[in-house]
Structure 1
């Protein structure tokens, strides 16, 4: 693995781990009034971010790619809270920062590692050449 790819992997892993910890701390320790039960909060806030965690720890490019879809939920949550709840604006700022770091790390790692492993999508021009050569050689 190239050093730059490894750095993006570490960025994704560290931000993912810190985001999990931050969500738990924020929702269970820092927020004093809960509109929902703690079980519902755990299911809605903690479980989704845990789903891609095993693949991120293992360094799987595909998991890093789809983890970005999960982290967008937390980015939306952070932006909404930052706008709507002035008392928790700093908490939301930390969430937004961690989400941004995780998103950048996951996207860059998935792209770079996928290319290193030869998992990239070939360009249409290249595919057309391959098909043309295949059908010309078949005759």
Structure 2
């Protein structure tokens, strides 16, 4: 995988997930019990936190942004299991979150190498 392909996957998953959250909770299947505004406030701000670093191509931002995907993975996984009516919506969410995850991980690794960044290995203790 090339750095450019990894970045493209990361940004496609990122902006796709952001758009999907808006479409799903705002238009396709709004919650019958909670307001659209509340749902968007619940699901969207987490995706806005890394936007500056993602747009700049900062490998550190790409690396830590994967942790912000956990609620989306969990949400999609639970709905795939329990809600037949929204299963396809959850499958799209899972696909986009996975695309962002894979793109971010490879981009952080490849771009980090290009920039000479690394995580130092712990020295082995001599006995």
Q: Normalising to structure 2: TM-score of the pair?
A: 0.90
Between the aligned partners of 2:59 and 2:27, the Cα distance in structure 1 is: 33
Contact 2:79-2:86 at 8 Å conserved across structures? yes
Tell me what 2:68 maps to.
70
Deviation at 1:32, TM superposition (A): 4.1
Residue in 1 aligned with 2:92? 94
Q: What secondary structure sits across from 1:108 in the alignment?
A: helix
Specify every segment of 5 or more residues in structure 1 that has no aligned partner in the other structure, as ranges. Answer: 129-139
- Identify the residue that residue 21 of structure 2 maps to in structure 1: 23
Paired residue total: 125
8 Å CA contact 2:69–2:101 kept in 1: the answer is yes
Deviations 1:85-130 (A, max 9, x none): 11000000000011111000001111111121121022234x98xx
Alignment match, 2:101: 103
CA offset at residue 38 of structure 1? Answer: 2.6
**Structure with greater Cα Rg:** 1
Greater helix share, 1 or 2?
Answer: 1
The structure whose RCO (Cα within 8 Å, separation 6+) is larger is 2
Match of 2:110 in 1: 112
Cα pair distance change 1:33/1:74, threshold 3 Å: closer
Q: Does 1:61 align with 2:85?
A: no
CA spacing shift, 1:117–1:32, aligned 2, 3 Å: closer
Structure 2: runs of 5+ lacking an equivalent? none
2:21 and 2:44 in contact (8 A); partners too? yes
